[in-house]
Amino acid sequence: MTVQQAVGPDPYFPANGDPRYRVHRYELALDYRPGPNRLSGTGRINAIAGRSPLAEFVLNLADFKVGRVRVDGRQAHYTHRGGRLRVRPAKPLRAGAAFTVEVHWAGNPKPVNSPWGGLGWEELEDGALVASQPVGAPSWYPCNDRPADKASYQISITTPSAYAVVAGGRLLTRTTKASTTTWVYEQSAPTSSYLVGLAIGKYQTVVLADPGLGGVPQHGHIPAQLLPEFSRDFARQPQMMHVFQQLFGPYPFAEYAVVVTEEALDVPVEAQGLSLFGANHVDGARGSERLVAHELAHQWFGNSVSIADWRHIWLNEGFAKYAEWLWSERSGGRPAHQHAAAAHRLLSSLPQDLRLADPGRKSMFDDRLYERGGLTLHALRCAMGEDDFFRMLRGWAGLHRGGAVSTTTFTAHVNRFASEPLDEVFQAWVYGAALPPLPRLPETRRAG
């Protein structure tokens, strides 16, 4: 497992996260009332100071009322402004010291503002969901909000008993007392703060996994009236899991869940061990199956293998885009090369001023990054050949499982699997802005 801690602030979001320490576990106890949209919580955060003593540190937390902050059981001084909870322990923490922070907060959760609109906690007509990518996690809990700072989580959520709670991870207990139910989930795998997923609503749970196809427990949580369409649209997900395990290696988590809300979502949202879809992604005709593949692929690329900072987002989105093409190819649809040709035609008609290696905050979610990222992987496949390419891909997911990586990490990894250096491919596709020619299939594949 590679754990690559970024050494400074994230260049795209310098106000998010504090590189002077790292968290290894969050324990969150939450109480949520959907009617008044009222959230109260206690967080216990186990962390380790970095290489220098810590006289103070920062957690990210949105506009809640903070009731108490303690460090190692002692009352700490704090200020809370602009989404930053600045904590000063009673005495400085020594370099490398383990410490525990306890925070109590309450209020009406709402999305945090971003260039892409509101992110994080979203109140629905009857329930709530969390869609945090990239900086929405502080909308509902205090965290060191940087993608490379990955931790385990235990989340306890109490809601009125009419509501189901779905979170990424394993459901440990569900306890009903009077009119409320407490759900406790454990996510033991290292998880980035933005990938902590949550959905609260009136859902029916169905089993999707076929033990003969992948062996990974898979569940769907959907409004009852959408069950017939959902059953058709997600019928091939177990097969998809089987194909992706062949291509990428073992599924990196203990289980996988999908949630469909009653409301429309602009795009599906991936979380660790969990994906969230809108009612508009369910049509009974598998009209969004490529998105089902995309979100599932993120469990390997983006969630298990995470990015050191947001400059490297193509390592998430380009890989998930290429997984769409691979699923099409392996399930009787168009081969990846035809998808690549279509993406190349599209990109050739658009501005060519985006560099995958550092697209800039404005262009993090530009469609061109997704398409060019997929094309880059196709170019590597064409240059390396089938066997070396897929060995490389499985090695990438396996060697860096649970860790955080960068574009430089990936280029070095690829060159270890290639029969000759591929620096020119990376220079053209990843570091350059002009669109290179469409990669050519090897002669043997064209002949076949």
pLDDT in tens, 239-255: 999 999 999 999 999 99
Residue 448 binned pLDDT confidence (cut-offs 50, 70, 90): very low
Tens digit of pLDDT for each residue in 284-319? Answer: 999 999 999 999 999 999 999 999 999 999 999 999
- pLDDT for residue 7 is more than 70: no
> Which residues span the domain enclosing 95?
1-199
For tokens 């322990």, what's the residue?
89
Residue 33 lies in a domain: yes
Tell me the CATH number at 314: 1.10.390.10
314 shares a domain with 437: yes
> How many residues comprise the chain?
448
Mean pLDDT confidence for 163-184: 97
pLDDT at 5: 46
Edge to edge, the sheet with strand 198-201 lists 120-124, 127-131, 198-201, 164-167
Report the percentage of the chain scoring pLDDT > 70: 96
Residue 215 binned pLDDT confidence (cut-offs 50, 70, 90): confident
Whether residue 184 contacts residue 167, with contact meaning beta carbons closer than 8 Å, is answered with no
Residue 277 lies in a domain: no
431 is catalytic: no
189 shares a domain with 40: yes
Residue 399 lies in a domain: yes
195 shares a domain with 315: no
- pLDDT for residue 442 is more than 90: no
Higher pLDDT, 169 or 8: 169
298 known member of a binding site: yes
pLDDT at 1: 46
Tell me the CATH number at 7: 2.60.40.1730
Burial class (CB in 10 A: 0-12, 13-18, 19+), 255: middle
295 is catalytic: yes
Mean pLDDT confidence for 213-223: 88
Residue 265 lies in a domain: no
221 known member of a binding site: no
Indicate the residue among 144, 174, 199 that finishes a domain. Answer: 199
27 shares a domain with 163: yes
Residue 34 lies in a domain: yes
Identify the CA nearest to 319 among candidates 342, 333, 299, 344. 299
Mean pLDDT confidence for 74-101: 97
pLDDT at 331: 97
Instruction: Tell me how far the alpha carbon of residue 288 is from its chain's centroid.
Output: 19
Mean pLDDT confidence for 368-377: 98
Distance CA 188, CA 172 (A): 12
Residue 345 lies in a domain: yes
Indicate the residue among 171, 199, 227 that finishes a domain. Answer: 199
Report the percentage of the chain scoring pLDDT > 90: 94
pLDDT at 289: 97
255 known member of a binding site: no
> Which of the residues 122, 186, 289, 295 is marked catalytic?
295
Tens digit of pLDDT for each residue in 133-164? Answer: 999 999 999 999 999 999 999 999 999 999 99
Residue 32 lies in a domain: yes
Residue 177: CB atoms within 10 A of its CB come to 9
pLDDT at 8: 79
Indicate the residue among 199, 221, 256 that finishes a domain. Answer: 199
Distance CA 200, CA 130 (A): 9
Tens digit of pLDDT for each residue in 10-54? Answer: 999 999 999 999 999 999 999 999 999 999 999 999 999 999 999
Residue 142 lies in a domain: yes
Edge to edge, the sheet with strand 57-60 lists 57-60, 84-88, 77-81
316 shares a domain with 190: no
Mean pLDDT confidence for 82-106: 97
Query: Domain tally for the chain?
Result: 2
Average confidence score pLDDT of the chain: 95
